[in-house]
Structure 1
Amino acid sequence: MLTVVMAMSQAGAQTPATDPVAPAPAAVRSTPAYPEPYLPPALRKPLRDATTGPVLLRYQAMQKLKKRFDDADLDGSGTLTRDEARKAGLGFIDKNFEHIDTYQRGNVSFDDLKAYLMQRREEARSR
């Protein structure tokens, strides 16, 4: 029986041993089995970056406005007349058409609208 035990121990030495206590590979350890319920403030990640959040929201809002502007441009000219803005339900453009159309052309481009919105934002900040 002693020879059987010795033979088994030698056979085990030749094959790689799997240690149940050995650490798991990095890919497996990426999420802990039991996450800590509390992390100190220094280790917490912010939910969002405060500097890019408002910029991202303005970008998304501007993209939606651009889509509505393009959809309202029935003749495909890249500009809106007051009538096109009114028919599309773009009341803001309709009400402020004279201020947006600074060159008095009778139509406004999306760049004209953006310039007007930036001007209003600057005016609101200076108050």
Structure 2
Amino acid sequence: MLTATMAMSHAGAQTPTTEPAAPAPTAVRSSPAYPEPYIPPALRKPLRDYSSGPILLRYQAMQKLKKRFDEADQDGSGMLTRDEARKAGLGFVDKNFEHIDTGQKGKVSFDDLKAYLIQRREEARSR
């Protein structure tokens, strides 16, 4: 019975109606809902140039440090020992190894190094 009811309701949905379709309402707006995407160059506002800002400089420095960290990681473990840092010439990591290695594992990850650098920056700002 349920199947018959569903079939009849489905069939009724496909039956064309004899009522004329109501015209779609037209709305008059003072400005379009979506503005024209093209703006001529003469009318464009100049974008702020972040190419030399401090955020970009920090990002670039962090990318260079990450590259040096990965190159220093001789065994590919994603961690540096103090010896690996020393051999790679990462003196900052070597000198501050105990502070970076908060878990006293004998190895530091790049995330450990970033956390230490952020902590140092925050300490310097609070002075």
TM-score by length of 2: 0.61
In structure 1, the partner of 2:85 is 85
The structural deviation recorded for 1:48 is 3.1
1:94 and 1:107 map into 2 onto residues whose CA distance is: 11
Given residue 81 of structure 1, which amino acid in structure 2 is its aligned partner?
T
> CA–CA distance in 2 between the matches of 1:48 and 1:93?
33
What is the aligned partner in structure 1 of residue 56 from structure 2?
A: 56
Does the CA-based 8 Å contact 2:50-2:56 persist in structure 1?
Answer: no
Which structure 1 segments of 5+ residues have no match? Answer: 1-29, 32-44
Partner secondary structure for residue 115 of structure 1: helix
1:125 corresponds to which letter in structure 2?
A: R
Query: Which residue of the partner structure matches residue 109 of structure 1?
Result: 109
Describe the shift of the 1:48–1:99 C-alpha distance in structure 2 as closer, same or farther (beyond 3 A).
same
Q: CA RMSD in A?
A: 2.6
Residue aligned with 2:80, SS: strand
Partners in 2 of 1:59 and 1:121 — Cα distance? 14
- Aligned-residue identity in percent: 79
Using the alignment, how far apart are the partners of 1:118 and 1:49 within structure 2? 21
**Paired AA for residue 94 in structure 2:** D
Q: Does 1:74 align with 2:74?
A: yes
Distance 2:105 2:47 in 1: 48
The residue identity in structure 2 corresponding to 1:56 is L
Structure 1 length-normalised TM: 0.61
Following superposition of structure 1 onto structure 2, how do residues 27-46 of structure 1 map, counting pairs within 5 Å? none
CA contact (8 A) 2:82 2:107 kept: yes
- 1:47 shift after superposition: 7.8
What's 2:126 paired with?
126
Partner Cα distance (1:64, 1:49) in 2: 19
Query: How many matched pairs?
Result: 87
1:59-81 CA distance string (max 9 Å, x none): 00000000000000000000000
